[in-house]
């Protein structure tokens, strides 16, 4: 090896892997479920690519802002059906469901990283 240091695996990275898998599913959903509206297809493809890039970068080098970006992307996926006019379609259900899951995973990782004592309480003394 040429002196490169491989970073230590963080146990919280599994939440980013979940977000990456959500993004991959959301990215393939326009082909799997044949969305009729073009603006829904474009929004879902762009948003899922952004979530995937953010998740991969958080896996490689964690930073709080990357998780906050995933929270914002998840929130955008939740409100985008009404903003872009594809409410009450099949795409809306996937956008809201995956957006909620992405935001939840990002908030969970922020809480676990920033408040480790809540996630790992000290052992009780007798």
Instruction: Give residue-wise pLDDT tens across range 39-86.
Output: 999 999 999 999 999 999 999 988 899 999 999 999 999 999 999 999
Check residues 119 and 66 and name the one with the higher pLDDT.
Answer: 66
Report the length, in residues, of the chain. 126
CA distances from 34 to 43, 60, 117 (A): 14, 33, 46
Two structure tokens written together for 95: 């956008």
| Single pTM value for the model | 0.82
In this structure, how many other beta carbons lie within 10 angstroms of the beta carbon of residue 100?
15
Dihedrals φ, ψ of 103, to 5°?
A: -65, -40
3-class DSSP assignment, residue 62:
coil
Q: At what angle do helices 38-60 and 13-33 cross, to 10 degrees?
A: 160
């Amino acid at each position: 090896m040429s002196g490169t240091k491989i970073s230590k695996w963080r146990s919280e990275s599994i939440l980013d892997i979940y977000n990456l898998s959500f993004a991959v599913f959301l990215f393939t959903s326009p082909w799997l479920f044949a969305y009729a509206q073009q603006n829904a297809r474009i929004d879902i493809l762009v948003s899922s690519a952004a979530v995937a890039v953010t998740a991969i970068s958080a896996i490689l080098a964690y930073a709080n802002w990357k998780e906050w970006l995933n929270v914002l992307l998840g929130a955008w996926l939740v409100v985008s059906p009404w903003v872009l006019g594809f409410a009450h379609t099949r795409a809306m259900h996937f956008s809201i469901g995956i957006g909620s899951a992405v935001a939840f995973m990002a908030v969970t990782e922020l809480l676990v990283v920033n408040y480790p004592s809540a996630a790992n309480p000290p052992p009780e003394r007798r």
